[in-house]
Amino acid sequence: MIKRIRRLRKRRKNDVLQQNAKKKQKDRVDGVSISSDVEANLDYFETLLDKKNSNDLIVRRFTIQYTTECKAGLIYFDGMSLTAGIDENVFEPLMLMGKTLDTKKDLLEAVDQSLIQFGDVKRITKMEDLVNNTLGGNVALFVDGYAEGFIIGLKGPHRRSVSDPRSETVIRGSREGFVESMRVNTALVRQRLQDPDLRMKGMTVGKRTKTPISVAYLDGLAENELVEEVVKRIEAINIDGILESGYIEEMIQDNVWSIFPTIQNTERPDTVVAHLLEGKVAVIVEGTPNVLIAPAIFSQFYNSPDDYYERYLIGTFIRLIRLLSLLISLSLPALYISFISFHPEMIPPQLTIAASAGRETVPFPSIIEALIMELSVEILREASIRLPGLLGPTIGIVGALVVGQAAVTAGLVSPLMVIIVGLTTISSYATPSYNAAISLRLLRFPIIMSAGIFGLFGVILLSFIILIHLLKLRSFNVPYMAPFSPLRLSDLKDSFIRVPWQYMNQRPVIFRAENDKREEEVKSGGQKQP
Amino acid sequence: MGKNNHDDTITDYQVYNLLFSCIVGIQVLVLPREGAEVGGIDSIWIVFISGALVFGLVWVIGALMQKIPRQNVIQFTESVLGNKKRRWMGKFLALPFTLVLGGLWLWISSTVTRGFAEVLDAYVLPDTPQLVLMATIVAVSAVAVSNKLVIIARITEFLTPFVYLAIPLFLGAFANGDLLNLLPMFQCDWKDVLKGVLITMCSFSGYSVLFVYMAFFQQPEKSTRTHGVAILVATLFFWLTVVSSIDAFGAWEVDHLVYPTIEDVKGVFVPGEILDRFDALFIVMWMINIFTTIIVIFGAAVELAMTYLQLKEKRRIWVAIIYGFIVCFLAQYPANIYKLWKWSRWASITEMIVILLVVGIFFILLAVRGRRKEEEHASSPS
């Protein structure tokens, strides 16, 4: 009883503390107006951001030379704003050029229209907006005697430059990948899609991180309800911080418990543009090169930009190979266990004999052997990613070769199992999408166990359950297994095959684009041979 | 977000797959024997008569359900026999239909489950207890039927094409056989033909689920043609197994084989010796189809209970689990495989009788409703 009372008291105390913390955070900036006294504004900032303990906060008091002298204050964070730009475009004109102006404008008008020599300037009356913008890297300016402030968009370009997308390499196609700056990313999209209908709806998510987000879509092409739904789901996110698009992905997807991704992420601007042209929506998040695309269907995850850039026959062939790899990566070890342990009569006798001879010294049943090998490969894979620089692949190869060879020589695993696991591992790398590939890698383990218990019957059973799950999944109201189920014949043109562009005049029906035709007629531009 | 209404209905192609996978199930494995038992070689053409008669039954179900679009039989009974003041009356009078149809579908599901477990026991997993196999089949089916009927329709839509992979095997077996085994035909007297028709008609079981599924059809008024195509393709499939088995073994031997279709496939040889024996592979392929058969019929029983009890969607899983236990229990009832075959045949005969009875009663109800509406129309001030 006493324990219960203590627990209740503790819980109540925690609740009160949490509420107070929230109130404090809200009270600090909410509803505070900018004062006409510049000192009061600067003091407010210094107190709010605790100047003594924030050594990157720069608060500069200076005098504007105009018809008369006027006190002013500038606030920014060192390293987050362009220092050279501040000197050249703000300090220099305000401190030196004001007197030379031949105008009788009000000081604030003159600062806004004539003195600050920068394009992105906003006049702000709320302290909250001013604080948020300064925290985002912009520069805040106060002028004494005016209850208004300026936000000057001098964010510093401290990001890495555009480079190859590391996780989605292609043989043919653009070498540009997204970077961590949202503005650079939106520019990369806009450069490729110079359409006046392209919209980039700005939002901010994360109570503390205040991460900027752009929801990109083509107005008049993407279904209005889809855009509204994406925006609504993002607006509903209530979290203190967003550090990567993965946070958003997890919080706006349809089924949190599913192992399969229902939102695609990409590092490639051309992929984003291709999907926008199909009537989808992209979510670009500050601080990450991974852009989200919604809705997403299963077949999307084994498509690569190469398929569209190569001729259609080659594209189709590569896509089929990838599909085969997907099946191998999911089921090959399970099939091996089924055949060896349950149905040896199904495989030719020579193979059965060879497999049995290889397993003669192996002390484990084939299911344990497969699980040990698969786990070892997963550990090796994870280790090779974490190892620094060039060491990773080297250790991976050496580890696989040395450990594999030693295990076979020691009689711990059969040579056939090494081949099976090797093939499975290679196949799993053929899936272009990392998050789809990892789902299949994970599912391989239960399928192996199921095969170990029921043989082929077990493989079918589990595949059946996975299929039911896939058929039930939806991504923003689009059935995940479309166009196969529900069958949309016209959309099969770009599914496990790809037909020539001339025959893909219609946009995929399943995404319900407002305008379902790409053009009246997609023409090849080539001449027919006589 | 605006829902696309079409996503919650069953398309024509899904209707075809539903009906096809509901009919073509475990019976394919035993049909050649059952046909040959009575009709001998003549079962080759007898199967077409059975197909035509089954289409007749499906047609009457379709004709009835087209008159009550977007409603299943239970909803219709409740709306006709009850009214706002006496809603319980409709509920009470719908109870016998719920019990008869639900019971029938659970019975058919149990015979298919047991038959499947028998095949697995004989060819794939001889050391695994049958109860374990049945429990596993029912558990997986329960997972499937804990979803809406539209999802079940999608499952059949996705999986049915895999059934056609068996056609090359039947053709391969046919090529291995002897055409002389198919002769002489037309030796049966009319009594044997009638008996043969009835027995082969029993292989087409499960189609009464249309009483429930048709409420979700996108175009119920145009479903007759799709039903016809599904029955035709299923009949051709049955015919292919009969011809292939008799061609390979002769009618007398087929009559003495437990699973002539599997034995037929066993003899198929693949150039290059990639796979040595095809029987286990065929059974594995066939598993998919048997699963779809079970879930289509089992799903109809669950939907009926959901409609009658007006349960929320999240309760569907519990109905599926409770029904799963019933199916598992019923599946254990036949003491041996011979009793199972009899049990299965009786289930199919009962289904035909139930269809005729239900359709008859409902046409009378429709007439009553029509007259009542006419009277209301006449008495209302114009």
Q: What is the pLDDT of residues A66-115, one digit of tens each?
A: 777 889 999 998 888 888 888 888 888 888 877 777 667 787 888 887 77
Mean pLDDT, all residues of chain B: 87
Q: What mean pLDDT comes out for the span B350-356?
A: 94
Q: How many CB atoms lie within 10 A of CB A285?
A: 28
What is the maximum alpha-carbon separation in chain B? 83
Place B2 in a pLDDT band, splitting at 50, 70 and 90: very low
Are B2 and A225 an interchain contact pair (Cβ–Cβ within 8 Å)? yes
Interface of B with A (CB under 8 A): 1-4, 7, 11, 13-14, 120, 124-125, 128, 133, 136, 140, 143-144, 147, 151, 154-155, 157-159, 273-277, 280-281, 284, 287-288, 291
Query: Chain A: nearest CA to B150, how far in angstroms?
Result: 10
For domain B9-355, give its CATH number from 3.20.19.10, 1.20.1740.10, 1.10.3720.10, 3.90.1170.40: 1.20.1740.10
Task: Report the distance separating Cα A502 and Cα A483, nearest Å.
Answer: 20
Looking at chain B, the whole-number percentage of residues with pLDDT higher than 90 is 45
Helix (H, G, I), strand (E, B) or coil at B253: helix
Q: What are the pLDDT tens digits along chain A (530 aa)?
A: 677 777 878 777 777 766 766 666 556 666 678 888 889 989 988 888 888 888 888 899 988 887 778 899 999 988 888 888 888 888 888 888 777 776 677 878 888 877 787 888 888 888 888 888 888 888 999 988 888 889 988 887 667 788 888 888 888 888 999 999 888 899 999 989 988 889 999 999 998 898 999 999 999 899 999 999 999 999 999 999 999 999 999 999 999 899 999 999 999 999 999 999 999 999 999 999 999 999 999 998 888 888 899 899 999 999 999 999 999 999 999 999 998 888 887 788 888 888 888 888 888 888 999 998 889 888 888 888 787 766 777 777 777 778 888 888 888 888 889 899 989 988 988 888 888 888 888 999 999 999 999 988 899 999 999 999 999 999 999 999 989 988 888 889 888 889 998 888 888 888 888 888 887 666 666 655 54
Query: Nearest 5 degrees, angle CA B144-CA B147-CA B149?
Result: 100
Is a pLDDT exceeding 80 seen at residue B117?
yes
Please give the full DSSP string across A26-88, using - where no structure is assigned. Answer: HHHHTTPBPPS-HHHHHHHHHHHTTGGG-TTEEEEEEEEESSSEEEEEEEEETTTB-HHHHII
Tally A–B CB contacts below 8 A. 88
pLDDT of residue A523: 66
Q: What is the pLDDT of residue A263?
A: 94
The helix or strand, by DSSP H or E, that contains position A502, with its residue range, turns out to be none
Whether A207 contacts A247, CB under 8 Å: no
Query: Which pTM value belongs to this model?
Result: 0.86
For A240, what's the count of Cα atoms within 13 Å in the CB-facing half-sphere? 3
The single residue listed with the structure tokens 């979510």 is A283
**Cβ-contact A138, A153 below 8 angstroms:** yes
pLDDT in tens, B174-219: 888 888 888 887 778 888 889 889 988 988 888 999 999 999 998 8
Kindly report the nearest CA distance between residue A456 and chain B, in angstroms: 7
B125 to chain A nearest CA, in Å? Answer: 8
pLDDT of residue B4: 45
- In A93-159, at which residue ranges do the beta strands (DSSP E only) sit? 121-124, 139-143, 149-152
Of B250, B261, B293, B227, whose CA–CA distance to B32 is shortest?
Answer: B261
CA A283, CA A249: separation in Å to the nearest integer?
9
User: Which residues of chain A are at the B interface, by a Cβ-Cβ cutoff of 8 Å?
Assistant: 225-226, 228-229, 342-343, 345-349, 454-457, 460-461, 464-465, 467-468, 471-472, 476-477, 479, 481, 484-487, 512
CA distance B285 to B159: 10
Closest Cα in chain B to A228: B1
Cβ neighbourhood burial of A403 (10 Å; 0-12, 13-18, 19+): middle
CB A76 within 8 A of CB A58: yes
3-state secondary structure A343-407: CHHHCCHHHHHHHHHHCCCCCCCHHHHHHHHHHHHHHHHHHHHHCCCCHHHHHHHHHHHHHHHHH
The confidence score (pLDDT) of residue B380 equals 64
| Closest residue on chain B to A341 (Cα) | B125
* A346–B277 C-beta distance less than 8 A: yes
Q: Which amino acid is at B147?
A: N
The two structure tokens encoding residue A190: 């806009």
**What is the model's pLDDT at position A118?**
80
Contact B147 A464 (CB under 8 A): no
**Chain A interface, best mutation among B8, B21, B125, by max A CB count within 10 A:** B125
Residue B3 has pLDDT above 50, yes or no: no
A212-243 pLDDT per residue, tens? 999 999 998 999 999 999 999 999 999 999 99
Cβ neighbourhood burial of A404 (10 Å; 0-12, 13-18, 19+) = buried
Q: What is the dihedral of CA B80, B81, B83, B89, to 10 degrees?
A: -150
Q: Strands across the sheet with A69-77, in order?
A: A57-65, A69-77, A139-143, A149-152, A121-124
